[in-house]
Amino acid sequence: MYNFFRINCINKESLKKIAATLLSLLVVFSGMTFYNSALNSFAKSKSKSESRKSNLEIQRERVHSYFDDLHAYAVGNPETGEIYFANKSTEKFPIASISKLMTYLLVMEAMDSGEISRNGKVTISKEAEDVTYSYGMIWLKEGMKVPIKDLIQAMLIPSSNESAVALACHVSGSQEQFAKLMNKRAKELGLNSTHFYTASGLPTNLDDDDEDEYILPSKYLKTENHSSAEDLFKLASFIMKKYPQITKITSKKDITLEQFSFHADSTNTLLKEDNSINGLKTGSTPGAGRCIIITKNVKTDFKRARDTGKTMVVLLGANSVSERNNKARVLLNLGDRIFKAQKQYGITPMLKLKIPENIPQLTVQEKKAENKKSFIIKIIEFAVSIVVAIILLIILMRYIIRRRRRRARLIMSKRRYRRR
Exposure string for 10-49, b = 16+ CB within 10 A, e = fewer: eeeeeeeeeeeeeeeeeeeeeeeeeeeeeeeeeeeeeeee
85 with 189, same domain: the answer is yes
Residue 188, amino acid: E
Same domain, 72 and 61: no
Q: Does one domain contain both 261 and 182?
A: yes
Q: Is residue 418 part of a domain?
A: no
The pTM of the full predicted model, rounded to 2 decimals, is 0.72
Amino acid 414: pLDDT? 74
**CA dihedral in degrees (376, 377, 383, 386; nearest 10)?**
-140
Residue 105 and residue 190 in one domain: yes
- Shared domain check, 398 and 385: yes
Each residue's pLDDT tens digit, 161-199: 999 999 999 999 999 999 999 999 999 999 999 999 999
* 9 shares a domain with 24: yes
Of 40, 66, 92, the domain-final residue: 66
Q: Do 150 and 83 reside in the same domain of the chain? A: yes
Q: Are residues 35 and 52 in the same domain?
A: yes
102-134: per-residue pLDDT in tens?
A: 999 999 999 999 999 999 999 999 999 999 988
302: in domain: yes
Do 107 and 231 lie in a common domain? yes
Q: Tell me if 227 is assigned to some domain.
A: yes
Q: Do 53 and 196 share a domain, yes or no?
A: no
Q: Is 119 within a domain? A: yes
Last residue within a domain, chosen from 11, 42, 66: 66
Q: In this structure, what CATH number is given to the domain that contains residue 84?
A: 3.40.710.10
Q: Strand, coil or helix: what is 252?
A: coil
pLDDT of residue 323: 95
User: Residue 218 sits in which domain range?
Assistant: 67-361
Alpha carbon distance 81, 83 (integer Å): 6
181 with 281, same domain?
yes
- Closest C-alpha among 84, 89, 83, 56 to residue 70: 89
Pair 311, 186 in one domain: yes
Domain count along the chain: 3
Per-residue pLDDT band at 33 (split at 50, 70, 90): low
